[in-house]
Amino acid sequence: MDIHAHIVKLLDVLQQQEEPITRQQLAGQLTSAAGEDDNFWLVMTEKAVHEGLVKTKPAKSKTVAITPAGKKFRKNPTAIEVHPEENANDDELSMKLSIVLSQRRGNGELSRVSSEHTRLQIKLIRAIDRKIALDEFAEQEHLDFDSILDELEKMLQSGHRFNIRYFVDEVIEQQDTQEILDFFDANGDNMKLCNDEWGDVYKTQELRLIHYLWETR
């Protein structure tokens, strides 16, 4: 996913500023001038800072400014690729970018719901990165555990893979996990068959966890 065109727009607006500007103010200007929404441009700004194209001024002012590298990039831009499926746990920013880019939002209620959904995904990513038990995370967010599994599976369909082995090993014996993994190896991606075969021994949630583990190996 190449985001360099968005970064160039951001740098263009930042270069035109005659007065110091905060990230939020910059995002507001970009939303008015180039569409998308404030959250989108805040994440783009974060990426630009990460790439060394934008710098944050002293903490008290909380303003941002274009760097010499950013000025060069404006004149001769190159691709800035985001590949969250590659080592996603080590690059939370890439994941945030991918989520924002894949959820171009409208106005009103749709915007509010999508924004809340994005925040939940980012919280879930951070929880996995910190190896927080997923059932505890569900309780913290006042969600049932099936909702967390649904979220993981949705992100997987978008190419975002996470290593949840730490949690699976907490709630299921490793030898039992391996037995179900072997079942999927032998029978393919067939949850119905797995439920028919093992549903009287394991909870559906446990089978879904192992199925996710199998899909992300």
User: pLDDT of 43-80, one tens digit each?
Assistant: 888 889 888 999 987 655 678 999 999 999 999 999 88
Q: In the predicted model, what is the mean pLDDT of residues 118-134?
A: 85
Q: In the predicted model, what is the mean pLDDT of residues 167-185?
A: 95
In a domain, 83, yes or no: no
Q: In the predicted model, what is the mean pLDDT of residues 68-94?
A: 71
Instruction: Assess whether pLDDT exceeds 60 at residue 9.
Output: yes
151 with 184, same domain: the answer is no
15 with 65, same domain: the answer is yes
Please state, in angstroms and rounded to a whole number, the distance separating the CA atoms of residues 207 and 187. Answer: 14
| Tally of structural domains, the chain | 3
Please state, in angstroms and rounded to a whole number, the distance separating the CA atoms of residues 42 and 53. Answer: 14
122 with 141, same domain: the answer is yes
114 with 145, same domain: the answer is yes
The CATH number for 57's domain is 1.10.10.10
In a domain, 80, yes or no: no
140 with 202, same domain: the answer is no
In a domain, 120, yes or no: yes
In a domain, 128, yes or no: yes
Please state, in angstroms and rounded to a whole number, the distance separating the CA atoms of residues 155 and 53. Answer: 29
Please give the residue range of the domain that contains residue 105: 90-157
pLDDT band at 108 (very low <50, low <70, confident <90, very high): very low
Tokens read off for 186: 């032998």
103 with 145, same domain: the answer is yes
Boundary (domain end) residue, out of 137, 157, 177:
157
Tokens 């004149």 found at: 75
Helix (H) or strand (E) holding 171: helix 165-171
Q: In the predicted model, what is the mean pLDDT of residues 155-177?
A: 89
Boundary (domain end) residue, out of 41, 75, 109:
75
70 with 26, same domain: the answer is yes
Rounded percentage of the chain residues whose pLDDT exceeds 70: 80
Tokens read off for 84: 């969250």
Specify the higher pLDDT residue, 15 or 121: 15
- Per-residue model confidence (pLDDT) at position 103: 54
In a domain, 186, yes or no: yes
Q: State the Rg of the chain over Cα.
A: 21
Boundary (domain end) residue, out of 75, 106, 135:
75
In a domain, 150, yes or no: yes
Please give the sequence-ordered ranges of beta strands (E in DSSP) within the chain, or none if there are none: 21-22, 54-56, 63-66
CB 53 within 8 A of CB 46: no
62 with 98, same domain: the answer is no
- Per-residue model confidence (pLDDT) at position 148: 95
Q: How many CB atoms lie within 10 A of CB 70?
A: 22
172 with 134, same domain: the answer is no
Please state, in angstroms and rounded to a whole number, the distance separating the CA atoms of residues 15 and 22. Answer: 13
DSSP 90: G
pLDDT band at 203 (very low <50, low <70, confident <90, very high): very high
Side chain identity, residue 45? T
The residue among 130, 156, 160 whose CA lies nearest residue 208 is: 156
In a domain, 85, yes or no: no
